[in-house]
Structure 1
Amino acid sequence: MQLEHLQTVHRRLLWLSSWTIHNANHLRDKDDTDVKVGGHQASSASMAAIMTALYFHALRPEDRVAVKPHAGPVFHAMQYLMGNLPLEKLVAFRGFGGVQSYPSRTKDVDDVDFSTGSVGLGAALPVFASIVQDYLQGHGRDAPMGRMVALIGDAELDEGNIYEALQEGWKHDLRNVWWVIDYNRQSLDGVVREGLFQRIEAIFSAFGWRAVRIKYGALQQAAFAEPGGDALRRWIDGCPNALYSALTFQGGPAWRKRLLADLGTANDAADLIGRRSDDELAALMENLGGHCLRTLCEAFDDADDDRPTVFLAYTIKGWGTPLAGHKDNHAGLMTPAQMAQFQAAMGVAPGAEWDRLAAVPDPAALQAFLDSVPFFRAGPRRFRAAAIAPPPRIDLSDTVQSTQAGFGKILNEIARQGGAFADRVLTMSPDVTVSTNLGGWVNQRGLFARELRDDTFRAERVPSTQKWSFGPSGQHLELGIAEMNLMLALAAAGLSHSLFGERLIPVGTVYDPFVVRGLDALNYACYQDARFLLAGTPSGVTLAPEGGAHQSINTPLIGMAQDGLCAFEPAFLDELSLILDWSWAHLQRDGEARPDPRTHLTDAAGGSVYLRLSTRPIQQALRRSDPDFAQGVIDGAYWLRPPGPNAEVVIAYQGVVAPEAIEAAGRLAGLRRDIGVLAVTSADRLHAGWCAARRIPGARSHADRLLEGLPPHCLIVTVIDGHPATLSWLGSVVGHRVAALGVERFGQTGRIADLYRYFGLDADAILAAVARHNPGRPVIAASA
């Protein structure tokens, strides 16, 4: 341990992070309408020593770190100090083109391992990254095992997903994970509850983690060995969090007055206090373990095995700055006067504020130390992995089938065929493996576990359709019922090519209504640019007998609105086959995000895919080999029944309401001219291409080309087993009237036909919509 250099680095990080925030709020040009930039100076200060001890002493290149959101300025200051971040990026902190408010894999340029921002999720993602690392080792990877580290604030422990992740980690024999908790006992609105540390330690211990309390710094430990030290230690242990913070803010005289009042003035403890000046006493009382580099390094060094470990590092929010300890400091900023005071204390000369090695006594010696730090010595740690050629497209011959069952059959066939692609597929599901049709895949490929576990039912010769054997070579990750964990596991597996240099094809299934339970983590996964395929099934009201709790309404809109995720909702198996064939390649693309001149979509950049599937069996279309059909499926829509030149009605549908749309078109054929039926396979891609084209003068999107030939009087009736807004925008493409049918309310139990009638999704409802927009003209009578 080179303590002197570590102390210098700590001061550099504390200064640069604080100055970066000060510059953004007080010095950088802004107009009168701008809001406060912010930046969390106090939250950064409490993490500076922890990050110094980790990055410059404990970590190795194979380790990966999720930095708590509010310590982002320290992370970027560290990268600037190491020469990995241009100064202009730091100067533009929280401004356009500058480093992000919170560490971002996709927006920042300085080697962020895991994006953070939605608190709790950054803490949990390293858990699943460790499981993925174990998975890769079980499948032949022999690279060094790294530690997956999360730096988190104590207030993040209020997030429920934290405990879901802990339980999932316990199920999978978690190892090689560190959580370092910045235990500053302050949150945005106040001071955390007394005794929280006991609950934290008990919870982690219950899940098999080692809990390490880093409470006292080296100065305090030395003082405890003096006469009166035991009394001082008891006082520190019994002091309420709020009082400790307040005394820190008030400084040495306040510490002296309170300690002497509580401990007495004529004893060993009073002598211990009396031997120190006010500044020395303040330094002693504020020398908590989370700010003491020697104590931190020793604690990290002692955790030298692969057992998951939580470090509870006691800190003071705003430590080392004029904001230290004040209860309002979470979003507070140093005033110019306070910054001048802080600058003088840090020894930074005016004009040298941005100098990397300002106020460093021996710059050459420090630079030599920085050049030798193991974590940074290997250079950038982003990996690349070659794309894996997908198998030939798999066509199904079923005449009546559901898209969910078709999805399972295609995966089953991929498993049967085997090969390099099949070997890289990793499926996962939150306790709905069988009911989302992954059973066939699992029977052939097995379930992943670090240790072999036999299928007891098969060993006991109990008949079962499922072969539930676990082992290191298994290719299905069986998760508990928490959907947040599914999305985080998909995120970790979907970053495997970048984190570990090994390409995986992650496939997750979930009941479609419960996509929303994991939506924060799904958004977070997409923000990381993780690559995965998510199948939400069953969707809409098609799981009719199970009622509204198992019926999804708004997921089509989520699919349209979620960045980084292409959403599809096929009705027929040949559409599904085409979409999956395209998706396997799309997950692996990594080109420039340049719009395609035909679709105006940025497909070359790649992304993740969301399939909204159904358990409703429907009559399948005849085999279709028209290339325009195949391209339309991928682009988002095609004409199932092309309209004539004088079309009065077009029925546009998405998903398994196809039979209702087709029936309605047939019944209208004799009473309305040139009826058209538009099969929408992806409102998401259709809408995205249309919006992109509108920003380019003279550009025409796929939606424009499909609808521009319709006469102005044509009515478009849209229908979907989901929210009607999904397709209602089609009228805006050229300027047609629209009657939008869909589901806007929670469902109830019943047969699909009953619910379609109730919600106005059946053929009768489509005909009624036509009649409402053309009063006085007859439509075919309602069906029996």
Structure 2
Amino acid sequence: MAANDDLRILAALEKQLLWTACWTIHAANHLRAKGEVKVGGHQASSASVASILTALYFHVLRPQDRMAVKPHAGPVFHAIQYMMGNQSRAKLEAYRALGGVQAYPSRTKDSDDVDISTGSVGLGVAFTAFASIVQDYLAAKPWATPQPLGRMIAIVGDAELDEGNIYECLQEGWKHDLRNTWWIVDYNRQSLDGVVGEGLWARIEAVFRAFGWDVVTLKHGALQRAAFAEEGGAALAAWIDACPNQLYSALTFQGGAAWRRRLTEDLGEAVAGILARRSDEALGRLMSNLGGHCLETLIDAFDAIDHDRPTVFLAYTIKGWGTPLAGHKDNHAGLMTPAQMAEFQRACGVEPGREWERFAAIGDLSGVAEFLERVPFFAGGPRRRRAAKIAAPGPVALDDAQLSTQAGFGKILDSLAASGAPIAERIVTTAPDVTVSTNLGPWVNRRGLFARDALADTFRTERIASTQKWEFSPAGQHIELGIAEMNLFLLLGAAGLAHSLWGERLLPIGTVYDPFICRGLDALNYACYQSARFLLIGTPSGVALAPEGGAHQSISTPLIGMAQDGLASFEPAYLDELSVLMDWAFDYLQRDGDGDPDERTWLRDETGGSVYLRLSTRPLEQPARRSDPAFRQGVVDGAHWLRPPGPNADVVLVYQGCVAPEVIEAAGRIGEFRRDVGVLAVTSADRLNAGWTAAQRARRRGNARARSHVETLLAGLPAHCTLVTVIDGHPATLAWLGAVAGHRTIPIGVEHFGQSGSIAELYRHHGLDADGIVAAVGGLTEGRRIDEWRPPR
């Protein structure tokens, strides 16, 4: 429990933080020049958690704890950092403007010390659970530096609990014996469009208890509890507990006089003494003194937790608490008017002209400086850690004459597991219930599954033959997940930030059926937005997963790979390409440069990022192994000539992925009637496109010599040359190549849901087979309709 003088100072800090947050939003909307649309902000949503964040940051948190602040409370977070000297006035004045603080706390966009980005509601909340699992994983490893376990804490808006990923996360946490996780629900009972339904608290409590969480309800503050002890207090307590959410909010907005009228009407003489002893202003303070706004109540509840079980605090609050917006149903995105702000400024005691001063709302500054110097959370300074790079061992050579890239991925990982290379101990793998079917089985057999407590494989102890060794132990390096893809990307995000959150390097690899990347897109984008580093394996992919039917055949994922910032996307066709890319990826995941482009490709490879490999289950006959530096560089840069075109080339076939055999066959047949046919093997349409657009920007800025890799590759083609692009995915992935140098382009790919069949049948159906490719070329170059033309044999 905090001492009385500490409570006095905390209350003063709370008022200052509320003022700074609300003034920041007001200045951006009413004082600063604006564009065509309002700047916006969330004064009411910030006000509802000002007390909670004050109690946490200035009393409860330790340096090892990590915080996810709900998105709409970003201004309070930035006000805290401003108070502590970690944020500048200039950036606050530029709130939601170029170069200013972000609307929602961001690890990558904000200059102050954001632990966990929370731009997409619900994801930052669930992220804390997976961060706790990763913290346990690190604590179990002998190579990790021992450090105190922190609490992973999230401030949760009650409306965030509508998000389905919250409940997927709860189930996964239960399976992994989650600990050291606190969620504090800002139970203000209002959302953007209205007031939440009655009795939601009971449902929340039941759900959390079902998954093994402790539930602490903070409904009444110290003032209310004191009033309940007075004569008539029991009647008042019962009335508050039974009051509908909408009525409580409306009366809060109307103020003390409205409270007095209603309580008199409903309770009469039973509460006459309580009402008589309080002015309207004091009565308003009493009725708004819910548990989430009482520092004494909050601190006592937080300090009482003496265990590591996951705990949810249901903190009753009032949206807009302490401001003229308190309780109004339209306050979510509402802004105080200039008149209301002037009223609020007088109430906070801030003199005109001092609005941006760090302690302008604190009248009595005695002891404040000394108090802030001993706040534990900020004692260690900046909280971003760094970790040493782990050297990649070089490409793993595979000698298989025929194999799929998915199987090759499994063999490369198995080789690393067996090699004992230093990088192997830093790899952690995970999959949403597709470990075996994505070829992670050999890796898991060698390295084991992770759990804090050992669990034997019953099938092995019972002597039942099985190819899998499902033994769990603290030494394991695979974290098995249920089938929810959102959880996969949240775990990859948490593990992919281990170097920054805990100063320990992890190289996370996650496998998922390629079409089901779409089921976790929000969390994938969120992980990339945080600059988490991981290797994503999407496999199997395309209609090449032929018998499974359309639901399991991916179409749009190559475009997702191109569009997703922070994710370098590749689709190798052959094992030697895959080996080069995996080795490169282990290094790329660990880069953290300043972003200067490589003037050979105009890619910002210094910055590093995550990597996505789109792999296939289709076995391909392998070419003679290629290992010369030019080949390796082309694979990494995004494309290399499988068959260089001649000087008079009429046609160049361009492919990405496992359609290589059809393209090669078609090239041979087209060569019988077309000159100098070339074949371009694209390993990354994403990297080619990124380099091309970057080079164009550089030229517009005055660097006339800027040329991207794809421009160099296509520079020698005659103007009359036609590009035929082929991919087992959406044709737009490669169709843009015609714009690079103005070549006519025929894009071939998959635009519609597939169906069951063999690969040959489905490739013929979609025009991906050699006949379809030859027909596309012949029909256009001969000036005949495709269905009338037949290729020579």
Distance 1:77 1:304 in 2: 30
- Partner residue in 1 for 2:157: 153
Query: Among 202, 211, 215, which residue is 2:215 paired with?
Result: 211
Distance 2:751 2:95 in 1: 43
Deviation, structure 1 residue 626:
2.7
- Partner residue in 1 for 2:546: 544
Query: Among 771, 777, 780, which residue is 2:778 paired with?
Result: 771
- Partner residue in 1 for 2:730: 723
Please give the per-residue CA displacement for 1:456-481, whole angstroms capped at 9, x wherever unaligned: 00000000000000011100000000
Contact 1:771–1:778 (CA under 8 A) maintained in structure 2: no
Q: TM-score, normalised by structure 2?
A: 0.97
- Partner residue in 2 for 1:592: 594
Distance 1:278 1:782 in 2: 92
- Partner residue in 2 for 1:91: 93
Please give the per-residue CA displacement for 1:749-776, whole angstroms capped at 9, x wherever unaligned: 0001100000111111111111232134
Query: Among 518, 521, 530, which residue is 2:520 paired with?
Result: 518
- Partner residue in 1 for 2:357: 355
Please give the per-residue CA displacement for 1:437-467, whole angstroms capped at 9, x wherever unaligned: 0000000000000100000000000000000
- Partner residue in 1 for 2:431: 429
Query: Among 8, 13, 16, which residue is 2:20 paired with?
Result: 16
- Partner residue in 2 for 1:498: 500
Q: Which amino acid aligns with 2:782?
A: P
- Partner residue in 1 for 2:745: 738
Distance 1:645 1:586 in 2: 36
- Partner residue in 2 for 1:335: 337
Contact 1:453–1:471 (CA under 8 A) maintained in structure 2: yes
Deviation, structure 1 residue 205:
0.4
Q: Does 1:318 align with 2:338?
A: no
Aligned Cα root-mean-square deviation (Å): 1.2
Query: Among 246, 256, 259, which residue is 1:255 paired with?
Result: 259
Deviation, structure 1 residue 34:
2.3
Distance 1:360 1:213 in 2: 30
Deviation, structure 1 residue 364:
5.2
Contact 1:764–1:783 (CA under 8 A) maintained in structure 2: no
Residues 656 and 783 from structure 1, CA distance in 2 versus in 1: closer, same or farther, beyond 3 angstroms?
farther
Q: Which amino acid aligns with 1:172?
A: H
Contact 1:186–1:327 (CA under 8 A) maintained in structure 2: yes
- Partner residue in 1 for 2:233: 229
**For 1:577, what is the secondary structure of its paired residue?**
helix
Query: Among 706, 712, 715, which residue is 2:713 paired with?
Result: 706
**For 1:441, what is the secondary structure of its paired residue?**
helix
- Partner residue in 2 for 1:456: 458
Deviation, structure 1 residue 625:
2.5
Q: Which amino acid aligns with 1:608?
A: S
- Partner residue in 1 for 2:106: 104
Please give the per-residue CA displacement for 1:20-78, whole angstroms capped at 9, x wherever unaligned: 00000000122xx4211011000000010000001101110000000000000000000
Matches within 5 A, 1:615-634: 615-634=617-636
Distance 2:578 2:159 in 1: 44
Contact 1:571–1:681 (CA under 8 A) maintained in structure 2: yes
Contact 1:448–1:476 (CA under 8 A) maintained in structure 2: yes
- Partner residue in 1 for 2:74: 72
Please give the per-residue CA displacement for 1:152-205, whole angstroms capped at 9, x wherever unaligned: 100000000000000000000000000001000000000001000000000000
| Range with bigger deviation, 415-424 or 437-446 | 415-424
Query: Among 445, 448, 462, which residue is 1:446 paired with?
Result: 448
Residues 209 and 626 from structure 1, CA distance in 2 versus in 1: closer, same or farther, beyond 3 angstroms?
same
**For 1:254, what is the secondary structure of its paired residue?**
helix
Matches within 5 A, 1:471-482: 471-482=473-484
Contact 1:671–1:778 (CA under 8 A) maintained in structure 2: no
Please give the per-residue CA displacement for 1:220-241, whole angstroms capped at 9, x wherever unaligned: 0001111111100000000000
Q: TM-score, normalised by structure 1?
A: 0.98
Deviation, structure 1 residue 420:
1.8
**For 1:695, what is the secondary structure of its paired residue?**
helix
Structure 2: tracts of 5 or more residues without a match: none
Distance 2:71 2:784 in 1: 62
Deviation, structure 1 residue 781:
4.2
Q: Does 1:602 align with 2:604?
A: yes
Q: Does 1:753 align with 2:749?
A: no
**For 1:276, what is the secondary structure of its paired residue?**
coil
Contact 1:127–1:148 (CA under 8 A) maintained in structure 2: yes
Matches within 5 A, 1:555-574: 555-574=557-576
Q: Which amino acid aligns with 1:497?
A: H
Deviation, structure 1 residue 777:
7.7
Deviation, structure 1 residue 87:
1.0
Deviation, structure 1 residue 783:
9.2
Distance 1:353 1:727 in 2: 55
**For 1:151, what is the secondary structure of its paired residue?**
strand
Contact 2:653–2:667 (CA under 8 A) maintained in structure 1: yes
Contact 2:390–2:423 (CA under 8 A) maintained in structure 1: yes
Deviation, structure 1 residue 305:
1.2
Please give the per-residue CA displacement for 1:698-726, whole angstroms capped at 9, x wherever unaligned: 21111111111111111100000000000
**For 1:194, what is the secondary structure of its paired residue?**
coil
Distance 2:710 2:583 in 1: 23
Distance 1:778 1:743 in 2: 21
Please give the per-residue CA displacement for 1:460-514, whole angstroms capped at 9, x wherever unaligned: 0000000000011100000000000000000000000000110000000000000
Distance 1:123 1:751 in 2: 44
Please give the per-residue CA displacement for 1:245-281, whole angstroms capped at 9, x wherever unaligned: 00000001110111111112x23x2221222111111
Residues 256 and 362 from structure 1, CA distance in 2 versus in 1: closer, same or farther, beyond 3 angstroms?
closer
Q: Which amino acid aligns with 1:54?
A: L
Please give the per-residue CA displacement for 1:606-663, whole angstroms capped at 9, x wherever unaligned: 1000000000001111111332211110000010000000000000000000000000
Q: Does 1:25 align with 2:38?
A: no
Q: Does 1:667 align with 2:674?
A: no
Q: Which amino acid aligns with 1:19?
A: W
**For 2:675, what is the secondary structure of its paired residue?**
coil
Distance 1:776 1:89 in 2: 62
Q: Which amino acid aligns with 1:179?
A: W
Contact 2:349–2:363 (CA under 8 A) maintained in structure 1: no
Deviation, structure 1 residue 365:
1.7
Deviation, structure 1 residue 782:
5.3
Deviation, structure 1 residue 390:
1.3
Q: Which amino acid aligns with 2:32?
A: R
- Partner residue in 1 for 2:486: 484
**For 1:719, what is the secondary structure of its paired residue?**
strand
Distance 2:653 2:90 in 1: 54
Distance 1:772 1:251 in 2: 79
Distance 2:785 2:73 in 1: 68
Q: Which amino acid aligns with 1:743?
A: V
- Partner residue in 2 for 1:185: 189
**For 2:118, what is the secondary structure of its paired residue?**
coil
Distance 1:765 1:93 in 2: 55
- Partner residue in 2 for 1:387: 389
Q: Which amino acid aligns with 2:193?
A: D
List structure 1 segments (4+ residues) > 6 angstroms apart after TM superposition. Answer: 777-780
Q: Which amino acid aligns with 2:312?
A: V
Please give the per-residue CA displacement for 1:83-133, whole angstroms capped at 9, x wherever unaligned: 111110111110110000000000001110000111010100000000000
Distance 2:202 2:716 in 1: 70
Deviation, structure 1 residue 419:
2.9
Distance 1:759 1:430 in 2: 30
**For 2:698, what is the secondary structure of its paired residue?**
coil
Contact 2:235–2:267 (CA under 8 A) maintained in structure 1: yes
Could you tell me the percent identity over the aligned residues? 69
Matches within 5 A, 1:611-650: 611-650=613-652
Distance 1:541 1:69 in 2: 40
Residues 751 and 782 from structure 1, CA distance in 2 versus in 1: closer, same or farther, beyond 3 angstroms?
farther
Distance 1:272 1:138 in 2: 57
